[in-house]
Amino acid sequence: MNLLTHPHRRYNPLTGEWILVSPQRTQRPWLGQVETPPAETRPPYDPNCYLCPDNARAGGKSNPKYDHTYVFDNDFPALLSSPVENGGGEGVGVMRAESERGICRVVCFSPRHDWTLPDMPRAEVRRVVDVWIEQMREIGARDFIDYVQVFENKGAMMGASNPHPHCQIWATEHIPTEPAKELRALADYHNARGACLLCDYLAQELAAEERIVFQNDHFVVVVPFWAVWPFETLLLARRHIGALTDLRDEERNALADAIKRVTTRYDNLFHIQFPYSMGWHQSPTDGASHPEAHLHAHYYPPLLRSATIRKFIVGYEMLAEPQRDITAESAAVRLREMSETLYRASRL
């Protein structure tokens, strides 16, 4: 069977789920929704932006006149840190509920309203990496926090409520569903083989070279064999480490380099500020040993054919299993061919 031309299913060992790949559908016509590309230019400072320095935030507090990366407690948090009276589990029959405490923070990458990560110098991206690690250490040390989720929603298409460059950190009392699925698969593999699933997977990808987008001394970016989103990528640490807090100094620099390079390639693909959701999966902070965990980040971009046509997760995907048209291999080729000089760099 030719995986590049024939319909087939691919297995995701991190989740135990399958995806349908239909490469023969790439030529189908499109009369569906067409997106409006985001505005190409924004001012370096927006007096109406609640994330810009020295401005009032939506919750009433004001930002300091910050010069670099800035962190604050979310004014409208999805979780509260205070204990709930009688906060144990509740339920009747098959209906169950339990309380959940947590911490929600916002990380502004830069005071520049018009920048995103690919616009930022590597030294400034390194500051973002350092802040993630500082936040992981500080929040993860709380006795009621079992997991710290760092994630970025870039662009209105992915639900970002403000274009100012920022990400979020949600830390929870329990390990959330998606990282829990992966940790179970990683633990099963480790217990059965005495090895790391992602280390073995990375070795296969490096040998095959079909889906590698780029690599440096400490990180590899690959379109995973089981990718769902058209230009989905997986950013993998070469060394078997469990969390951002395990990174050495040279690895922090390499991570900043990898982030800058992958986000630049994304923007260059369709010459827009490319939307995506990105998040780190790493060791829980529950006090237990997790030798199975391997630090990695998922990038989930929605765009399919152009800046105006996106991939929808609907119908068959919601009711049966995920499906994609372009193969992971062809997506990797397109990303690999992209320049690492940002297309709008001359305008910055």
Q: Which of 166, 281, 296, 298 is catalytic?
A: 166
Cα distances (angstroms) measured from residue 161 to each of 95, 118, 261: 33, 20, 25
- CA–CA dist 191, 160 (Å, integer): 39
Exposure pattern of 168-184 as b/e (b: 16+ CB <10 Å)?
bbbbbbebeeebebbbe
Catalytic residue status for 166 = yes
Helices (H), the chain: 122-140, 177-193, 197-208, 249-270, 316-319, 328-336
Concatenated DSSP letters of 189-205: HHHHHSS-HHHHHHHHH
276 within 8 A of 301, measured Cβ to Cβ:
yes
DSSP 259: H
- CA–CA dist 128, 70 (Å, integer): 9
Q: Could you give the residue numbers annotated as active site?
A: 166
